[in-house]
Each structure stands twice: as structure tokens, then as C-alpha cells.
Amino acid sequence: MKAYIVGVGMTKFEKPETRDWQYWDMVREAGTAALTDASVTYEDIEQAAVGYCFQPSTAGQRAVYELGLTGVPVYNVNNNCATGSTALMMARQFVEGGGSDCVLALGFEKMARGSLGGGGADGGAGDFKTSPVARHYGIMAAAHGFEMTPPTAQIFGNAAREHMERYGTTEAQLAAVAAKNHRHSAGNPYAQFQDPYTVDEVLAAKPIHRPLTRLQCSPTSDGAAAVVVVSERFVERHGLGDRAVEIAAQAMTTDTDASFASGTCIDAVGLPMSREAARQVYERAGIGAADLDVIELHDCFSINELLTYEALGLCGEGESGALVESGATTHGGRWVVNPSGGLISKGHPLGATGIAQAAELTWQLRGEAGPRQVPGARTGLAHNIGLGGAAVVTLLRR
């Protein structure tokens, strides 16, 4: 049975503590928008998958109680930065398996200010000996030592150093990723940041972990996003064909030996996972990278966008720096990557990120993205990854 997205909604992503709101306020706003967009009510929802990382167990229930008290099953999802796309995957499986006709996938986060740590769900550096990502940081420490910089920026920054040493990637090419995404976000009213920056301004920003500057790092953010996923018969019964975007293929992968065998940060931050998830999606959908129009990918740091170009097959190994520099991944190029501004500029409330990607692609494929619209977009790909690890790739098709 096919699954379709028929309604999407999200809050503006905000710097933590900017607004006086709780996570259930965010969910009320995003969830109501998605239900309205789908022309359904919460009474139509049969199950809900709710993703978050920084709240206690059953916070998903507390959140959706703002939408209704109907007693439907609520599943709390926590999968690091891939939490939102994991909730979306669960919703799709509920529908494709024939168990439900109308499911809500939600993600939210209310975060603390400052850099995200690397030790677990509390966001702090924690004790890496017991952290679920201890093995990943052990790879980093063995290859590069450990510096007094934010752990997540450090492991990705070290991946950038490896890429530069191996392939000749330049700091300007890394900065070009951030400049592109900040420029894209100027047309997105939901983005945390909407100011464009030049490559030189990105390079001149405060260093976080060389070669990454502040403008190349995704911020901590508050916000929520929601999608309504339904069956083909629900679409037909409710006359939603003009709103429906098909989830044409989806795959999730976790770490294999390939993440650790090379001893590199490039592999430890998830390149092998992303490559395999993309391979599965292309195979299931019968398409390749050349068939894509618009892509929302996990640019938690500028280097990860470059690594993901290679994982998705947009270019060959080591060619991603030249690809972004050529203009191939912005408006007027071969693909438009992160028209929303991506994580770097739109923001990164962990539980909401993957679902916000799906919302952006749904708007793009419907032709509703306003000034950031990719003309004639019919096929969109979302890529969402979390250390620890999970990579989710989702193909949406109009």
C-alpha cells in the first residue's frame, strides 16, 4: 500500500529562549497547521509517532494532548539527529503495512543555548566512556587527539581536515556551502537565520574547530514540525489528490564495520551509512541522483554537506568541493540543495529536523515554496543523519 504526505506544518525555528513557549505550544502550532493543510482533524488520526531528544519519556503524549484527547497510540521516538525522519519512517510503515489510514508524524525540541555536546541526550560532553557515541569519538581521539572545542564540531571539523588533506578541498569550498545555505534561507520565513553572508564573511567568522567557523555550524534551536501521512484509499476517499506527495521510497541504515575500519572521522560521522541508505532508495525507486530536482540534506556542519554530495552520488569521491564551487547545487544549477537554508541557517531542533525537511520538500513539489521555489520540481530527496548512528534517506515524488 502506498503512503502519501497530505499535510505539513512547522513553527519558525528560533534561538533557544527567544520565545516564551513550551514544547507542547510548539506542537500545537505545527500540528494544527499540518492538520489544517491536510483538511483533516485530530479525530481522523489513528496513530502518532512523536520525536524528540531532550524531554522525558511520554513527552510525546503531553505534546499531542494539545491537539486532542482521543486515546490513539502515541510512540515516543529518540534517534539522535535522525529522530524526526525516524518518526516519519514509522508513520509510513504504519500506513504501508495496512494498519492505519491516517497517521501523524511530529518532531519537536526545546534546547539549551550554546554548543551541542557529544555525550548523549543531555547535550553535554558527558562521560565518553559510557556514551553511546564513545566508539565514534574514540576513532577521532586515536587519529587526531582531543581538543577543548565542542565535541560534535570537533569530530566533523576533523573530518573536514581529512577531506582537505586527502582531496585538496579548500576552506573556501567549505565556506561556499554555508554561504549558499545562508543565502537560501533569506527566502524562508521559518528559518532561524535569514541574513545572507559571502564566502569571505563565513571564513572571517569566529572559529569553532578549524577549519569550521561559527557560520558553518548548525545552531541549537527551538521548534516543531509535523506531517500527516495517509494511505492511497484515504487520499481517494477524501479527495486529496491535489495535495498528496508520495513517499516513493525510504531507507534507514545504522553503522557497520565500514564506519570504524578505516579509523577516519569521515567514516565515523556516517558517510558509509548515508551511501548505503541512498543506494537502497535509488534501487527501490528505480532512479538515480540524476533524476532528482531538489534535495534537503543534513548539513549539520558544512563538511557534512560535501560528504553527503558524495554519498548521494551527486559527484565522485573527493569531488564535492569543486561541485559546490561550480554552482551546481543552488538555483540555476543541476540540483537545488537545501533551499530552506538547511540546518546551518534554518536551524536544527533535533527532533523536528527530519520532519521539517519533509515539509520543505512537500511545499517544493506542490509549487508552494514562494521565493525559494525550485521551478518544475517533481522529485525530492531528504537525508537526515544522527551519530550513534542512523541515516534516513527519503524519496518524495509528486
Beta carbons within 8 Å of 201's beta carbon, 6+ residues apart = 179, 215
81 is catalytic: yes
Beta carbons within 8 Å of 228's beta carbon, 6+ residues apart = 5, 6, 7, 8, 34, 35, 37, 38, 40, 45, 102, 103, 104, 105
348 is catalytic: yes
Query: What CA–CA distances, in Å, run from 209 to 13, 146, 148, 173, 282?
Result: 25, 11, 9, 16, 35
209, 238, 348, 383: the active-site residue: 348
Q: Residue 234: enclosing H or E segment and its boundaries?
A: helix 232-238
Would residue 173 be called left, alpha or beta, if left means φ above 0 and alpha means ψ between -120 and 50 degrees? alpha
C-alpha cell at 122: 543531555
Q: How far is CA 76 from the centre of its chain?
A: 18
Beta carbons within 8 Å of 139's beta carbon, 6+ residues apart = 260, 263, 264, 265, 267, 268
Whole-angstrom Cα distance, residue 70 to residue 103? 13
For residue 244, the 8-state DSSP code is -
- Judged on CB neighbours under 10 Å (0-12, 13-18, 19+), 124 is middle
Beta carbons within 8 Å of 289's beta carbon, 6+ residues apart = 282, 312, 313, 314
Query: What CA–CA distances, in Å, run from 377 to 183, 252, 276, 321, 339?
Result: 20, 24, 25, 25, 12
53, 81, 102, 265: the active-site residue: 81
Give the catalytic positions in this structure. 81, 348
